[in-house]
Structure formats: structure tokens, C-alpha cells
């Protein structure tokens, strides 16, 4: 009984200390995860964009809600780009450069996350001009990564 408890505690500790990437059961699950995270992030970023670009009236509370979701989502996709996913060639626009120049890809992801932190701060001010400026810089960081790493 004691041994069984020790073994299960050991297994639980190992599972908790495993990197997130190792928690996907198969590479296709990681692909689905990163595409889902990017899709949700894009949905909420686009809603902010409609306000930033004056296509829908600016609503400070809605802008804050969307920016907060964007910030949370911005942290998630990267775990789904593990090396085990490099071999997936269908159903993805990911370029091999992601894994061949992974430092550059990581830098691009960090640039985007840093812009998103600023976007969230701008949304909290409730000032449309600040949201507009931060939205533009964030969109540029999305585009930079897409240009370099997405087909
Ligand atoms: C979006 C969205 C992106 C970025 C990108 C910015 O709204 O879904 O991927 O903005 O188009 O250039």
C-alpha cells in the first residue's frame, strides 16, 4: 500500500515536471492546440482592430476585455511548436524555418508577446489613441512573424 502510494506520487511529480510540449499525446494534437490558440487570439485581436480602425464605435470596456484575452492567448501557441511537430506537412502553414532557425522564431514570438503586454496596458487607459498606436505595433509584430515563418 505504502509502495503504491509512493509510486503514484512519483509518477504525479514526474508528470508535473514535464514540459508542456510533452503533454500532447501526439504531434497532431500540438498542431490543433497551437492553431486553436492563434485562432482565438486572432478573433479577439480583430475585434480590437475594428475599434482601433474606427469601423465600430470605441467601447473602452470591450477593448479591455478583448486585450486581456489577447494577452492570455499570446502565451499559449508556442508549446504547440515542439520539434515533434516539424514532420507535419499537411494542414499547416508553418515553414521549416521555425525549427531550423528556432532562436529567431522564439525572438519573434517574444516580440509579439511584448507588444501585446503594451496593447493590454493601452486598453486599460481607455484612451483610443493609445489603443490605436499599440494595435498598429502589435499587428506589425504578427506580420513580421507570418512573413518569416508562415506560408
Ligand atoms: C489579425 C490577425 C492576424 C494579424 C495580422 C496582422 O487580426 O488575425 O493574424 O491581425 O494580420 O498583420
Please answer whether residues 99 and 86 qualify as being in contact, where contact means their C-beta atoms are separated by less than 8 angstroms.
Answer: yes
- Per-residue 3-state assignment (H helix, E strand, C coil) for 100-128: HCHHHHHHHHHHHHHHHHHHHHHHHHCCH
pLDDT tops 80 at residue 16: no
What separation in Å is there between the alpha carbon of 132 and the centre of ligand 1?
A: 14
pLDDT per position as a tens digit, 44-61:
999 999 999 999 999 999
Residue closest via CA to ligand 1's atom 6 equals 139
Residue closest via CA to ligand 1's atom 12 equals 143
| Region 75-83 average pLDDT | 97
**Would you state the pLDDT for residue 18?**
58
**Would you state the pLDDT for residue 68?**
98
Q: Which atom of ligand 1 is nearest to the CA of 42?
A: 8
Confirm or reject: Cβ of 143 under 6 Å from ligand 1.
Answer: yes
Q: How confident is the model at residue 22 (pLDDT cuts 50, 70, 90)?
A: low
148/100 Cα distance (integer angstroms): 12
Query: What is the percent of the chain with per-residue pLDDT over 70, rounded to a whole number?
Result: 85
72/126 Cα distance (integer angstroms): 19
pLDDT per position as a tens digit, 94-142:
999 999 999 999 999 999 999 999 999 999 999 999 999 999 999 999 9
Q: Which atom of ligand 1 is nearest to the CA of 49?
A: 7
**Would you state the pLDDT for residue 3?**
64
**Would you state the pLDDT for residue 13?**
54
Please count the other Cβ atoms lying within 10 Å of the Cβ belonging to residue 52. Answer: 25
**Would you state the pLDDT for residue 19?**
59
pTM of the model: 0.86
Q: How confident is the model at residue 33 (pLDDT cuts 50, 70, 90)?
A: very high
- Quick one: cell of 37? 490558440
**Cβ neighbours for 41, distance < 8 A, ≥ 6 positions apart:** 69, 70, 73, 74, 76, 77
Bigger pLDDT: 84 vs 22: 84
Amino acid at each position: 500500500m505504502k509502495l503504491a502510494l509512493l509510486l503514484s506520487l512519483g509518477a504525479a511529480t514526474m508528470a508535473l515536471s514535464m514540459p508542456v510540449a510533452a503533454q500532447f499525446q501526439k504531434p497532431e494534437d500540438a498542431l490543433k492546440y497551437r492553431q486553436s490558440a492563434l485562432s482565438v487570439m486572432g478573433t479577439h485581436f480583430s475585434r480590437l482592430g475594428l475599434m482601433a480602425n474606427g469601423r465600430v464605435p470605441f467601447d473602452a470596456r470591450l477593448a479591455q476585455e478583448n486585450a486581456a484575452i489577447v494577452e492570455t492567448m499570446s502565451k499559449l501557441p508556442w508549446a504547440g511548436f515542439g520539434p515533434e511537430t516539424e514532420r507535419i506537412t499537411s494542414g499547416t502553414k508553418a515553414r521549416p524555418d521555425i525549427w531550423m532557425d528556432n532562436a529567431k522564431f522564439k525572438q519573434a514570438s517574444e516580440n509579439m508577446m511584448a507588444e501585446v503586454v503594451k496593447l493590454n496596458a493601452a486598453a486599460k487607459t481607455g484612451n483610443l489613441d493609445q489603443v490605436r498606436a499599440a494595435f498598429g505595433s502589435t499587428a506589425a509584430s504578427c506580420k513580421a512573424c507570418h512573413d518569416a515563418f508562415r506560408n
